[in-house]
Amino acid sequence: MNNLFSLTLLLFISSFFCVQAQDVMLIEKNDHTTIEVKVSDISQITFHTIYLTCPDSNHPHVIDLGLPSGTKWSCCNVGADSPDENGNYYAWGETEVKSAYVANNYVYSHWTENSYGIPVQIFDDIGDEIAGTQYDAARANWGGSWRMPSLQQFKELMECCTYTPTTQLGTKGFLLTGPNGATIFLPSAGYRFAMETYSGCRYWSSTLDQEKNNAYRLNIYNQNWDCDSNKRYYGLPVRPVCP
């Protein structure tokens, strides 16, 4: 009887541990500390070589500015072949360029009439945070782990970095310097409305404003920089990050 009980208990314990078993990835760092990650939590593994500045013309490069969050920034904009090029312009949530940026051709909206018969544009809900989704221009065009920067990542940039107005290969912009001395150049690519390109240094974030028809952007001026919001159908450049 005791032997039967012991065997039953052993089988129960064995089955319990089999059910509870999980596959994990163990990563040992140079300091011999170990990071454990559940395999089920991993969506993809991407390897990047990280630099403090561009080493060659094979762009884009992953630049480590020494930020507390560990966020890495690209050396150039989506659609650009080098840091001094403006690259492409995108409406927020769209992943393809177009000839004109107006309310009527914004993909993620529809029109209705109010009680007075006046047309009203209703913006579709594609999420409050689109980084890494199908609506992310960086992810859609570059793939891998590239994504649009969030509002918080822009705020970290402003809190931890300094910037200097400069010109690089004939392109006006701003040189950002991180806590570790690494640098990236943000060209003053401006923005697009209708079929015109206007001056300025503005970049889309991946974060929707509380007013759902706007999304947050980074603005850099000669004397200061800040974040505010912009109509989603305007065309702005995108500078990707690699979390």
For 198, the enclosing helix (H) or strand (E) is strand 196-198
* SS3 (DSSP) at 226: strand
Give one DSSP letter per residue of 106-175, joined into a string: -SSEEEEE-TTS-EEEEE----SB-TTSTT-HHHHHH-TT-BPPPHHHHHHHHHH-EEEEEEETTEEEEE
- pTM exceeding 0.85: no
For the segment 184-232, what is each residue's pLDDT rounded down to a tens digit?
Answer: 999 999 999 999 999 999 999 999 999 899 999 999 999 999 999 999 9
Apex 8 CA angle, 5 and 10, nearest 5:
110
pLDDT less than 50: residues of the chain: 5, 9, 13, 16-18, 32
Instruction: List the beta bridge partners of residue 197.
Output: 192
The domains of the chain are located at 50-102+129-242
HSE of 112 in the Cβ direction (CA atoms, 13 Å)? 6
Output the pLDDT for position 112. 93
The whole-angstrom separation of Cα 171 and Cα 75 is 15
Amino acid letter, residue 25: M
Prior bond of 243 cis (ω within 30°): no
Output the pLDDT for position 32. 45
| Cα-Cα end-to-end distance for the chain | 59
Neighbours of 173 (CB within 10 A): 22
